[in-house]
């Protein structure tokens, strides 16, 4: 991927990182997501962050996390109680994007989630995140995956 194209993705990449941090806080506290969002934007460095994407993604995830968990659950090969807070947050971000943001290619969603897992998750968590989101994408992005395989995976 060219440098210019990478830079175009950076604001959303930064938004996902901020969403991960906000979700971690939201999962740990009984604080409303809107309050966390406001605090984050006041305290955190939002320079270069796609703020609209941050707010949208955080709102979608926190509005009905159970619906996302229900879509993720069949693709998890271990007890859901064994998910740590970071894994749960990363899976929710990935699931939300796969299900609600068709404009983001499924490979980008998975790659971004794996990157978050590398940076913030458990040592081998990235492989788990990759497997779960790959299985979910096979379920909810069938047409896109079929087109991707016709193009030789490019």
pLDDT (0 to 100) of residue 37: 94
Residue 61 neighbours by CB distance under 10 Å: 23
Give the pair of three-digit tokens for residue 25: 């806080």
Domain count, the chain: 1
Question: In CATH, what number is assigned to the domain containing residue 96?
Answer: 1.10.940.10
pLDDT (0 to 100) of residue 42: 92
Does pTM top 0.85 for this prediction? yes
* Residue 126: domain span: 3-150
Do the Cβ atoms of 19 and 58 come closer than 8 Å?
yes
Do the Cβ atoms of 15 and 54 come closer than 8 Å?
yes
Task: Give a three-class secondary structure readout of 54-66.
Answer: HHHHHHHHHHCHH
Tell me: the pLDDT tens digits for 99-117? 999 999 999 999 999 999 9
Residues of the chain with pLDDT under 50: 1, 5
pLDDT (0 to 100) of residue 138: 95
Q: What angle do CA 83, 49, 22 make, to 5 degrees?
A: 30
Angstrom distances, CA of residue 140 to CA of 69, 99, 107, 133: 14, 7, 13, 10
pLDDT (0 to 100) of residue 148: 72
Do the Cβ atoms of 132 and 91 come closer than 8 Å?
yes
């Amino acid at each position: 991927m060219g440098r210019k194209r990478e830079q175009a993705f950076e604001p959303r990449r930064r938004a996902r990182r901020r969403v991960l941090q906000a979700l971690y806080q939201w999962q740990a506290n009984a604080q409303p997501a809107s309050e966390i969002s406001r605090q984050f934007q006041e305290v955190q460095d939002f320079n270069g962050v796609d703020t609209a994407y941050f707010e949208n993604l955080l709102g979608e995830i926190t509005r009905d996390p159970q619906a996302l968990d229900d879509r993720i659950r069949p693709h998890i090969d271990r007890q859901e109680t064994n998910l740590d807070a970071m894994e749960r947050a990363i899976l929710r971000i990935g699931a939300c994007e796969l299900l609600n943001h068709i404009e983001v290619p499924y490979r980008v969603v998975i790659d971004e989630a794996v990157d978050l897992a590398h940076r913030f998750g458990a040592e081998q968590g990235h492989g788990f995140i990759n497997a779960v989101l790959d299985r979910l994408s096979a379920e909810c992005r069938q047409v896109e995956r079929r087109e991707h395989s016709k193009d030789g995976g490019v």
